[in-house]
Amino acid sequence: MLLLVDYSSLLYRAFHSLPDTVPMHGVYGFLNMLARLLTDQRPSGFAIAVDDDWRPAFRVEALPSYKRHRVAEDGEEDPVAPQEAVGREVLIALGLSVVGAEGFEAEDVIATLAARAGGPVAIVSGDRDLFALVRDPDVRVLYPKMGVSQLTVVDEAEITRRYGIPGRAYGDFALLRGDPSDGLPGVAGIGEKTAAKLVAEHGSLNAILRARGLAPAVARRLEAGREYLAAARQVVLPVRDVPLPPISTVLPRSRANAAALAALVERYALASPVRRVEEALGFKETACGRG
pLDDT digits (tens, 9 = 90+) for 138-187: 999 999 987 898 999 999 999 999 999 999 999 999 999 999 889 999 99
Whether residues 144 and 18 share a domain: the answer is yes
Considering the domain architecture, whether residues 285 and 273 belong to the same structural domain is answered as yes
Q: Do 178 and 215 share a domain, yes or no? A: yes
Domain final residue pick, 192, 218, 236: 236
The residue among 132, 178, 176, 181 whose CA lies nearest residue 154 is 132
Query: With pLDDT > 90 as the criterion, what percentage of the chain qualifies?
Result: 89
228 and 264 share one domain: no
pLDDT tens for each residue of 173-208: 999 999 988 999 999 999 999 999 999 999 999 999
8 A C-beta contact, residue 4 and residue 244? no
The torsion angle over the Cα atoms of residues 73, 75, 80 and 81, rounded to 10 degrees, is 110
Q: Are residues 19 and 117 in the same domain?
A: yes
Residue 6: its H or E element: strand 2-6
Domain-ending residue, one of 191, 206, 236: 236
What b/e readout covers 255-271, taking b as 16+ CB neighbours within 10 angstroms? beeeeebbebbeebebe
> Do 140 and 61 lie in a common domain?
yes
Domain extent for 262: 2-157+240-290
Please indicate, yes or no, whether residues 144 and 180 belong to a single structural domain of this protein. Answer: no
Three-state secondary-structure class, residue 99: strand
* Domain match, 66 and 130 both: yes
Confidence band of 69 (pLDDT split at 50, 70, 90): confident
If one counts the domains in the chain, the total is 2
Q: 129 and 6: one domain?
A: yes
Domain boundary among 214, 236, 258: 236
